[in-house]
A and B are shown apart, each in its own frame.
Chain A
């Protein structure tokens, strides 16, 4: 089977001008992700796991390497180089990202937060809200919270709202950054079951999990990262 995502020699180094410093965050990352399979990134804190996900999503500009993504149309695009408009288009229709924390407007209801990616795709408001409600129910977010902004929710409830928002549009590639970090065991089970269902529908996933147990249960392949070597030399002048 063809990989949907192939990362070749990805590296990310931050250049902090004010402090005259180069901070390496990931280096020599190679991996592939396949439709219907989950590739897990493991390694200690600072190994660059999140940095890889953000590089794929282009929240970080990769410093080196290629990030080859096979689109629904069968074209291969290097996400490290892709045009910004192309990137926005792929984010809207093919690549989803669930981060650890929920960032949303404090005045928007949970239902609308979750439905947002569908609004962006032009799904009618009522239909989008109905699908958002279905998903929130599946993830056991109590119905009386749906019309309330998530600001006052517990950590676990926020995380499920966040997850629902990432899953609702059923992207072809899903990037997951510790999506179950603050969930209790019962809710974690629901999320695991949901991710398994999504895998069966052919969604490819690149994920970071806090618990080794989840890696064992969900991952089809595991990539171990180690922290990149620190750059000790002070930098003279960076263009």
Chain B
């Protein structure tokens, strides 16, 4: 069995009609991701990487760089306009974008997890915290009420949300706690692959630290592979072994995280690192 869990090749997404000049007239050297000829937006173009089991890969870039689009395509939230992704699951391998909608839904519910920056995207605010987790457990074939309840409670306890709050609506939770519930929900099916999209953005520093520590602990305990999308150099420094740097829809540089931070090659990355507080 190979160490690979995910292999992404030529992944691209263009919003709009597309003309033959879209690619050649966008990107970092043109300082835009909007095609001046047809107005299409090149959200991501030709993204390539391999992710290994248990590895944390960072994707860093500013708003509009294509970093969120990349993980959203892999989580089937958005549809790529080109490219492929292969998910290696045990002995099986799946050509992700060739699967039908039901197969994609099943992969997303059982094998992947996602934590969004905005808890409203990841949680159902009409039902309790425990209910949110139960929803996901139900989709993954666990049917017994008592078992579901116990497991949901365990997951909340693991992410340091008091069991006593299990039956409360996450609406009443603080931002940090909502993220913890999202993490508990994402982990419910023990997925081998987790996507984290700006999960600590907008939280108090102390809450950020606690969430990041939790993510690291989970990675140690469960060996979950993760793709961490962030604009925060501190987050990738802490979490990621390797990092992709994106700008205007392109990956402009990739490398070991300490190398990206200490010896950045691209002008934009050098500027980014020099802007660190």
Contacts and interface: CB of A to CB of B under 8 A. Distances in A.
A16 interface: yes
A59 B263 CA distance: 7
Interface residues of A, number: 17
A59 B257 CA distance: 8
B76 interface: no
Interface in A58-92: 58-61, 84-85, 87-88
Contact of A107 (B209, B242, B262, B267): B209
B256 A59 contact: yes
A54 interface: yes
Contacts of B213: 105, 107
B259 A61 contact: yes
Interface in B220-271: 220, 238, 241-242, 254-256, 258-259, 262-263, 265-267, 270-271
Interface string B37-80: 00000000000001010010000000000000000000000000
A119 B220 contact: yes
Nearest to B3: A85
Interface residues of B, number: 23
A60 B259 contact: yes
Given A84-B255, A88-B241, A59 B270 contact: no
Contacts of B241: 88
A90 B267 CA distance: 29
A153 interface: no
A61 B255 contact: yes
A16 B264 CA distance: 9
Nearest to A54: B262
A109 to B, nearest CB: 13
A60 B3 contact: no
24 contacts: A14-B263, A16-B270, A18-B274, A54-B263, A58-B256, A59-B263, A60-B259, A60-B262, A61-B255, A61-B259, A61-B265, A84-B242, A84-B254, A85-B3, A85-B50, A85-B52, A85-B55, A85-B242, A88-B55, A88-B256, A105-B213, A105-B238, A107-B209, A119-B220
Given A14-B263, A58-B259, A84-B255, 9 more contacts: A17-B267, A18-B274, A54-B262, A58-B256, A59-B258, A60-B259, A61-B263, A88-B55, A88-B241
Interface of B: 3, 50, 52, 55, 209, 213, 220, 238, 241-242, 254-256, 258-259, 262-263, 265-267, 270-271, 274
> 7 smallest A-B Cβ distances: which pairs?
A17-B267, A60-B263, A59-B258, A88-B241, A59-B262, A84-B242, A59-B259
